[in-house]
Structure 1
Amino acid sequence: MTGPTGPSVRALFFDSPGDAVTALAEAVRTGAAAGEIRDGLGRMPAAGKDAVLAEVGRVADGILDMGVADMVEQGWNRYTALVDAATRSLANPGGRELVEMATHTATVDYRPSVEVHLADLPVAAVGMRALLEFTLRGLVGVVADGALTAIRAGTWECTGTLELAGQVIANRKGEVTMPAEIRFRRPIPLR
């Protein structure tokens, strides 16, 4: 699924939302996390344990809803041409500067977790990891009032690995379809 900030992280790794839920639920039921969760749930009936494991898979899938552009927002303030444009834009309030950006590489190591509790006591924490490397070509940054407000997309290539509880769930490599212009929810201060 592609939204105003591009596809979700889920869409980078799976062809459909159903594929994601199935893969994550299977990983939770059969991987190292399953033993830890089952042990932590003690004498709970097997059907209850299975329901908890299925819910962990659904919650893990929900974490993957984050938009690609949201993840790539990190690190823009290290790009010298953008910082220079931000300085100039402060002298011209309301004006915009367009900054051509050569090839830009961004690596994102996203590590959320799903915590399982029983009667307010922690039972287990199931770690996830999405390691993504984006190569962005032909981008134009839109700078106004000292901040990066949008990027006009060129081509985005991505290589990624998705793990759940240390188990590799998916690997992908390919081009990412992004909107022509991505406006950030909040401008990214550069100065």
Structure 2
Amino acid sequence: MTETGGPSVRALFFDSPGDAVAAMTKAVRSGAAAGEIRDGLGRMPAAGKDAVLAEVGKVADGILEMGVTDLLDEGWNRYTALTDAAAKSLANPGGRELVEMASHTASVDYRPAVEVHLADLPVATVGMRALLEFQLRGLVAVVADGALTALRAGTWECAGTLELAGQQVARREGAVDMPAEIRFSRPIPLR
């Protein structure tokens, strides 16, 4: 099986997309963000304010669609074995170098935000945070033409916390179900 991006950040925290939308909408309706948004919307009827809050929950959920490996892109070029393989692959165009990675720890602190506007005027900004800690074991990195192109096999464990407007929405730990090979949507330059 080959897949690009691996599972979504959403899949790390929620069992279904519906669960994610419900949790994000509940968090935005019950937290400090709700007061800021309601105040910013002024005299808009309550039903309209509720619709805006529900939409913010859906947009926040949509941000979580990003693939796990997309978040890890930036950290790979720090590892000597990978940069050495990149140099070898550049010396042998079209060739592939396989790098065994016995163990690798990676962390991601992803902080997107949802901006709410009324008639092109900013009303509120709802901050999100996904803090993820990965332990990767038994991976094989595939390097070609000076770039990391794929990861093969191995086991992934993850601990993560998801916050919306400073309020914890979800926390999970456990194994991450990854495909046998993950190809990056665009190669990650290592040299």
TM-score (norm 2): 0.97
Q: Which moved more, 1:32-41 or 1:145-154?
A: 145-154
CA shift, 1:4, in A, is: 3.2
Letter in 2 for 1:82: L
SS of the residue 2:44 aligns to:
coil
| C-alpha contact (below 8 Å) 1:142/1:150 kept by paired residues | yes
| C-alpha contact (below 8 Å) 2:4/2:185 kept by paired residues | no
Structure 1 consecutive aligned stretches of length 4 or more whose deviation exceeds 6 Å: none
Aligned to 1:22: 22
SS of the residue 2:42 aligns to:
coil
Q: Which runs of 5+ in 1 are unaligned?
A: none
| C-alpha contact (below 8 Å) 2:138/2:154 kept by paired residues | yes
CA distance in 2, matches of 1:102, 1:145: 23
CA distance in 1, matches of 2:151, 2:173: 22
CA distance in 2, matches of 1:50, 1:170: 22
Q: Which runs of 5+ in 2 are unaligned?
A: none
SS of the residue 1:65 aligns to:
coil
Aligned to 1:48: 48
Equivalent residue pairs, number: 190
| C-alpha contact (below 8 Å) 1:5/1:179 kept by paired residues | no
Aligned to 2:99: 99
CA shift, 1:71, in A, is: 1.1
Aligned to 1:156: 156
- Superposition RMSD in Å: 1.1
Letter in 2 for 1:6: G
CA distance in 2, matches of 1:154, 1:126: 36
1:173 aligns with 2:173: yes
CA shift, 1:3, in A, is: 5.4
SS of the residue 1:57 aligns to:
helix
Aligned to 1:126: 126
TM-score (norm 1): 0.97
CA shift, 1:153, in A, is: 2.6
CA distance in 2, matches of 1:121, 1:34: 17
CA distance in 2, matches of 1:101, 1:34: 45
CA distance in 1, matches of 2:36, 2:19: 24
Aligned to 2:39: 39
Per-residue CA deviation, residues 2-60 of structure 1 (Å, 9 max, x unaligned), is: 95322111110011111111111011111000000000000100000000000000000
1:85 aligns with 2:64: no
1:73 aligns with 2:73: yes
CA distance in 1, matches of 2:97, 2:23: 44
Structure 1 residues 151, 77: CA separation in 2 closer, same or farther (over 3 Å shift)? same
CA shift, 1:168, in A, is: 0.2
